Amino acid sequence: MMLNTVGLLLIGIALGSGTALPAQTPSGKGEDLSDQIITGAWGDPAKCNSSNAKPVAFMDAALGNGIAKGECVSITAYWAGRAIFVSTADANVRKATVTAGLTGRRVGIYADERTLIKTPRRPKPFKIIGTYASCATEWPGAMMVLGYCHFSDGPFLKISQVLPAKRRDIR
């Protein structure tokens, strides 16, 4: 029993650290599962930043209108938890990042830990810059995806930069 508890604890630590777990094959050799167990993702600020991001309206991003997979975009919206929203009313809905009622009215986020620890306690407006992707198509070979796509479907951004914004900038 103690061994099982320790094993579960180690798995939890590895999953929380944003690293992939090596799997043991029958031969005892480790196998790289980094493309099968997705624990985190983020954008590269050298490739996607405020100087080269295409500004897009929130609802275009939420509905996937005219935005290509992998495109560097900037969206001004309210950041709450692991998603962004067009309004504080949406962001304040109980379980807003997973409730089906907000499908098409939220965009998920993935970011590095330095960015995620800055998640505001209450929804606040930010200009979020990142690479546009979709939960349905980003990791087709993965057997498990943690984070936003584990509980929700739809579009998300791999964040590369977060800038302060004003409420009036949200469109």
Pair 54, 118 in one domain: yes
Pair 55, 126 in one domain: yes
Pair 63, 76 in one domain: yes
| pLDDT range class, residue 143, cuts 50, 70, 90 | confident
pTM over 0.95: no
Convert the pLDDT of each residue in 8-65 to its tens digit: 444 444 445 454 444 444 445 566 666 677 778 899 999 999 999 999 999 999 999 9
Enumerate residues 6+ apart whose C-beta is below 8 A from 35: 139, 141, 142
Pair 71, 13 in one domain: no
Pair 160, 143 in one domain: yes
CATH no. for residue 165?
A: 2.40.50
Pair 11, 83 in one domain: no
Pair 1, 27 in one domain: yes
- Domain residues for 156? 38-169
Pair 74, 141 in one domain: yes
Confidence at residue 104, expressed as pLDDT on a 0 to 100 scale: 94
Pair 123, 154 in one domain: yes
Confidence at residue 153, expressed as pLDDT on a 0 to 100 scale: 83
Confidence at residue 139, expressed as pLDDT on a 0 to 100 scale: 72
Pair 23, 51 in one domain: no
Q: How many domains does the chain have?
A: 2
Pair 11, 71 in one domain: no
Pair 88, 132 in one domain: yes
